[in-house]
Amino acid sequence: MAWTVYILECTDNSLYTGITVDLARRLEAHSIGKGAKYTKHRGPFTVVLTELQDTRGQALKREAAIKAMTREEKLGLIGTG
């Protein structure tokens, strides 16, 4: 089962990073306020990056690495910086 690491751009221009095995289901959860506390009142969202990982462990490591980046580094990663 492939895991997806994703970055959402929120309406306040903030960036949210998460992981899932079902991106469509996870985006629906975010859109109805059930996805994460951070995104509850920041929708609608735009998916600005997705990366596939083979295992949950790899996805968690990549998520942590992205979350440790500065905003400028994240913008460079998604190609808008």
Domain limits of the chain? 3-78
pTM of the complete model: 0.93
pLDDT band at 81 (very low <50, low <70, confident <90, very high): low
77: nearest Cα among 10, 2, 1, 5? 5
Radius of gyration of the chain (CA): 12
Match domain 3-78 to its CATH number in 3.30.1390.20, 3.40.50.150, 3.40.1440.10, 3.20.20.300: 3.40.1440.10
pLDDT of residue 8: 97
pLDDT above 70: residue 1: yes
For 35-75, what is each residue's pLDDT tens digit? 899 999 999 999 999 999 999 999 999 999 999 999 999 99
36: nearest Cα among 6, 77, 68, 79? 6
